Amino acid sequence: MINLFQSNPDDFQYILESFGQWITVNNQPVQALITNTPINQTSAGIDFDDKKISALTPLKCGDIVQYNDEDWLIISEINAQRYSKYKGIMRVCDYPVKFNFKGVVKEFPTIVDGKVFDVETGQFMTLPNSTILVTLQENQETLEIEAGQRFIKMGRAWKVEAIDRTHKGLLRLWCKQDQFNKAVDDVENEVADAGRYESPDDDTGQGNNTLTINGDSDIIINRTKTWTATLIQYGQQVPIQSATWSVTSATGGMTDLVTFTNQTSESCSLKAGTKLGYFKLICGLADGSLRAEKEIRVKSLI
């Protein structure tokens, strides 16, 4: 019987070609072997349906894996290549979370936990009431998150109380439930502090504008789908007088994954081609004052 995770170097290439599949890791195509792990149910009643991932391509803790129409985060340390391959454990990202960086809204795939593992006792411990631990990839954008920053998820407002950067590749946010501020929070679109920030040329002290793209994060090949834009001005939604839409590759270059079928200042429709992958949808006000981006995946019907 072949052990898929302890094969010798000569075996693994054959196993990968026979049983592996093409996925994406940090938006780059990678051929990998994905297998199940025993569902880990703890005494605290937590089920972790983690999966093992092996590849000839280097993997590291904190990598985002797009697999089975979901985002997964590699949570295990990967110190070096073993048996000619890299392998790790990945866990599904159960919640996308939007953070507002002074008017620029960015969404990240995250793992949200209400319990944490205590190394000293070897058991899972329930966090204090109204407290959660948010784990996400450590990258240039997530490192901009600061203590005190707020976000909206699960119908509640949360505030980042502390940031743990001790796990290389991962960012862990200790968050506590906060009160909604109806004057500035866009609860419907889950954008905290949508009207709080002042723009450099705004001397009224009334706050800044926020532009957000609304809609799905995926589109099926050969299908057409529509996205809309929302402009928040001083805490109130207002009509968008003039805006333009564009698309780029996930890295900012040209893309042929989709084509526009219709667009207005407040919405656009795209038709996907036959290729799979990721692209960025961009909406910008005509005066150049605000710009919003949304990463979207072109996926197969199956």
pLDDT of residue 14: 72
**CA–CA dist 177, 251 (Å, integer):** 35
**The model's pTM:** 0.62
Show contacts of 12-16: CB within 8 Å, 24+ apart. 12/54, 12/56, 12/83, 12/84, 12/85, 13/56, 13/84, 16/54, 16/55, 16/56
What mean pLDDT, rounded, does the chain reach?
A: 84
- The answer to whether 103 and 208 are in contact (CB under 8 A) is yes
Rounded CA-CA distance 294/65 in Å is 18
Q: How far apart are CA 32 and CA 186, in angstroms?
A: 40
pLDDT confidence of 190, banded at 50, 70, 90? very high
Res. 86: pLDDT tops 50: yes
HSE of 231, CA atoms in CB hemisphere, 13 A? 18
State the pLDDT confidence band at 292, using cuts at 50, 70 and 90. very high
DSSP assignment of 61-86 equals: TT-EEEETTEEEEE-S---S-BTTBE
Nearest-angstrom CA–CA distance, 264 and 285: 12
